[in-house]
């Protein structure tokens, strides 16, 4: 069984989140998603709209996701990879290069980020009651 792992906040779950999980799962058979806890997001300087318990349950309900674990710090990735016998570590390419040190333990893949959508943009559209345009 080929095991994949990815990490993220996944606040205000949106299409870009769905696509990275879909593509991560397509690389193997079992996808673990480490969802950032509220405490860790505070360290990242991120203020979430949804609390961890909501974000974790939403991610867990996505059909591509097999397991959700909490992401509590930057350093746990090495341990997570060893303990879960992970084959591929996946992140969006906004993180390109940042986790190359993990290459000693597993494959590291950065997938293209979905354009024109982000949690910040979702907040903007909600505030302005505007819609996200589907680019042709």
* DSSP 8-state symbol, 15: H
Please check whether residue 87 is in contact with residue 4, taking contact to mean a CB–CB distance below 8 angstroms.
yes
Scanning residues 74 to 133, which ones bind ligand C2G (CB under 6 A)? 91-92, 94-95, 113-114, 117-118
Interface with ligand C2G includes 48 (CB under 6 A)?
Answer: no
> Which residues lie closer than 8 Å to 62 by C-beta, 6 or more apart?
18, 21
Among 3, 10, 28, 81, binds ligand C2G (CB under 6 A): 10
| Catalytic residue (one of 46, 98, 103, 123) | 46
Interface with ligand C2G includes 25 (CB under 6 A)?
Answer: no
The residue assigned the tokens 């906004």 is 94
Q: What is the rounded CA–CA span in Å between residue 43 and residue 9?
A: 12
103 an active-site residue?
no
CB of 16 to ligand C2G, least distance (A): 3
Among 17, 32, 52, 59, binds ligand C2G (CB under 6 A): 17
Q: What is the rounded CA–CA span in Å between residue 102 and residue 115?
A: 26
Interface with ligand C2G includes 54 (CB under 6 A)?
Answer: no
Q: What is the arrangement of strands in the sheet containing 67-71, beginning at the earlier edge strand? A: 67-71, 30-36, 3-8, 88-92, 107-111
**Residue number, nearest CB to ligand C2G:** 92
Q: What is the rounded CA–CA span in Å between residue 1 and residue 5?
A: 13
| Catalytic residue (one of 2, 3, 44, 103) | 44
- Which residues in this chain contact ligand C2G in the complex, by CB under 6 A? 7-10, 16-17, 20, 36, 46, 71, 91-92, 94-95, 113-114, 117-118
């Amino acid at each position: 069984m080929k095991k994949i792992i990815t990490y993220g906040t996944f606040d205000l779950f949106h299409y870009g989140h769905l696509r990275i999980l879909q593509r991560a799962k397509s690389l193997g058979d079992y996808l673990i998603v480490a969802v950032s806890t509220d405490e860790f997001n505070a360290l990242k300087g991120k203020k979430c709209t949804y609390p961890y318990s909501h974000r974790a349950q939403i991610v867990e309900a996505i059909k591509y996701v097999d397991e959700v674990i909490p992401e509590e710090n930057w350093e746990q990735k090495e341990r997570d990879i060893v303990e879960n016998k992970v084959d591929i570590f996946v992140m969006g390419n906004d993180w390109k290069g940042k986790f190359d040190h993990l290459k000693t333990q597993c494959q590291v893949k950065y997938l293209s980020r979905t354009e024109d959508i982000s949690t910040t943009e979702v907040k903007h559209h909600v505030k302005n009651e505007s819609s996200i345009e589907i680019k042709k």
